Amino acid sequence: MSHPQPLRIGVIGAGGIMRAAHLPGWQQVPGARIVAVCDLDRGTAERFATESAVPADKIYSDVQAMLDGNELDAVDICTPNRAHTPQVLAALERGLHVLCEKPLATTTAEVRQMQAAAASAKKILMTAQNHRFSAISRGIRKFVETDGLGEVYHARIHAVRRNWLPVKPTFIVDAISGGGPCMDIGVHALDLGLWLMGFPDPVRVSGTTKVNFAKGHGIPGGWGEWDRNRFDVEDFASGFVHFANGATLVLEASWLQHQLEKEDFSAQLFGRKAMVKWPSGDLATVIGGSLIDAKVQEVSGLKPSHQEEIFAFVDAIRSGKPSPVPVEQTLKVIAILEAIVESGRQGREIVLPTAN
């Protein structure tokens, strides 16, 4: 019986998403060991080290020191958005595979820089877009791939919350986050929608970003208070996208607004044959002249999406497969989000260059 290829993993950023979502995935991978951890906050790093059996002498506050002081095969990065680019580039320069939390970067220029570095290093660079790996996402994708929808001509993407604004500066200060809900939750919903659509090429984008409520006290925060003086990102964004194949997409992203739902995180794809909604799996179509409501079922036997995401990353490393979330696709996502912000700033539609 063959043993799986051992993998030595370095963790960069040991906060909530790493501990709650990524660590359980790594603990399920045979032959993988987290051997070093780096976080600017020593206490955070120490708590993670205890939970993951990382020795005390392998706790770092400097990324380069961790890379220089250990024999690693890959890194898993869960740091604030603006920190991603230098950390990804440093890891790729050391010849390591990289899994990085979304957004990979907040500008297309940075994504292209990382894309070139990954190609030069011949290493896997994967954005952690976990929603692609959920059981219902896989079920809907399979339905779409078998032409269940027919030609998809429009998508409606929502990542909107009633009063769940993340309060830490790492989310609400542009110099750290690179954006508000657009880059926080909009990036997830948009990636999922584009993936279900087969990633058509975006060609034109119009959009707007606003601060409607975050500077005041009109809507109480569900996750506590935030520093309104430091808040300098949007709390609402919307965009309309045209694709080269004639399809269109509308995106809404917000942290604070008057709505009934605590959160509406959803994608609807409208096709010539049917409509499907994620994550409910609700399906609307017509058969024999009758209106039919149905449901797409989950793919059975899958682990939680963050774990499946890590399994896919490891499988690509061990089997020599391409990145499960190709950088070319991430580039299209960031191009759209970047264009929404720029359209709002310039007050006009933005024409995109070829995204890939």
Digit-coded pLDDT (tens) for 29-79: 999 999 999 999 999 999 999 999 999 999 999 999 999 999 999 999 999
- Asked whether residue 1 carries a pLDDT value surpassing 60, the answer given is no
pTM given for the model: 0.96
| Cα(233)–Cα(101) distance, integer angstroms | 20
Among 138, 37, 127, residue whose Cα is nearest residue 88:
127
Sign of torsion, CA 15 16 17 19? positive
Is residue 2 in a domain?
A: no
Q: Which residues pair with 161 in a beta bridge?
A: 263
pLDDT digit string, tens, across residues 275-310: 999 999 999 999 999 999 999 999 999 999 999 999
| Cα(10)–Cα(53) distance, integer angstroms | 13
Mean pLDDT score of the chain: 97
* Residues 282/176, Cβ–Cβ less than 8 Å: no
We report the CATH number of the domain holding residue 70 as: 3.40.50.720
User: Which pLDDT belongs to residue 355?
Assistant: 44
Are residues 229 and 146 both part of a single domain?
yes
* Residues 70/92, Cβ–Cβ less than 8 Å: no
Percentage of residues of the chain with pLDDT beyond 70: 99
Residue range 176-202: mean pLDDT, rounded: 98
pLDDT digit string, tens, across residues 120-140: 999 999 999 999 999 999 999
Give CA angle at 131 (127, 135), nearest 5°.
135
Q: In the chain, count of helices (H) and strands (E)?
A: 13, 15
Are residues 227 and 343 both part of a single domain?
yes
Are residues 95 and 39 both part of a single domain?
yes
User: Which pLDDT belongs to residue 3?
Assistant: 74
User: Which pLDDT belongs to residue 2?
Assistant: 65
Q: Which two tokens stand for residue 199?
A: 């990633």
Three-state DSSP state, 7: strand
Number of domains in the chain: 2
Residue range 233-255: mean pLDDT, rounded: 98
We report the CATH number of the domain holding residue 252 as: 3.30.360.10
- Compute CA distances 165 → 74, 95, 131, 186, 279, whole Å: 32, 37, 20, 13, 22
Are residues 49 and 177 both part of a single domain?
no
Are residues 104 and 200 both part of a single domain?
no
Q: Which two tokens stand for residue 71?
A: 């024999």
Residue numbers of the domain that contains 96: 7-131+305-323
Is residue 1 in a domain?
A: no
* Residues 332/193, Cβ–Cβ less than 8 Å: no
Are residues 143 and 224 both part of a single domain?
yes
Contacts of 207 (CB under 8 A, 6+ apart): 237, 238, 239, 240, 251, 339, 340, 341, 343, 344
Among 275, 273, 255, 272, residue whose Cα is nearest residue 264:
255
Is residue 329 in a domain?
A: no
| Cα(225)–Cα(203) distance, integer angstroms | 39
First to last CA, the chain: 42
DSSP state of 83: G
Is residue 356 in a domain?
A: no
Contacts of 111 (CB under 8 A, 6+ apart): 104, 105, 327, 330, 331, 334
User: Which pLDDT belongs to residue 4?
Assistant: 84
Are residues 314 and 347 both part of a single domain?
no
- Tokens 């449901």 sit on residue: 295
Percentage of residues of the chain with pLDDT beyond 90: 97
